[in-house]
Amino acid sequence: MDCIFCKIANGEIPSTKVYEDETVVAFNDLNPQAPVHILIIPKQHIPSAAQINETNSAVVAHIFEVAARLAKEMKLDNGFRIVNNCGDDAGQTVHHLHFHLLGGSPLGLTFGSAE
């Protein structure tokens, strides 16, 4: 399958991984929108949040555990944001479920909103 994030997950495309286990990978965003901008993805190809259901939702809980752990590691003690863009109206550009973890400075209110 021609999916950038599947290729990042299996190592075919290089990335700066900051966390990996059996079910998820976290890596630095190529085009960071904040001092810390990490993408956390399931290794399983789920196209978007619209395809989360009772058979695959456990990985989403796990992603939020990993996000909290990474936020602590990155010293985002003053706060952080977790963003998911789902579908065209939200500006989703990579069609493999991913959560943005952003922080390290005041973030404003515009990330992910329509221009």
Catalogue the active-site residues. 98
Which lies closer to ligand 5GP via its Cβ, residue 24 or residue 39? 39
| Site for ligand 5GP contains 93 (CB under 6 A) | yes
Among 43, 81, 96, 100, binds Zn ion (CB under 5 A): 96
Q: Among residues 111, 114, 19, which one has the least CA distance to residue 74?
A: 19
Which lies closer to Zn ion via its Cβ, residue 21 or residue 73? 21
| 3-state SS record for 14-59 | CCCEEEECCCEEEEECCCCCCCEEEEEEECCCCCCHHHCCCCCCHH
Enumerate binding residues for Zn ion (CB under 5 A).
3, 5-6, 45, 96
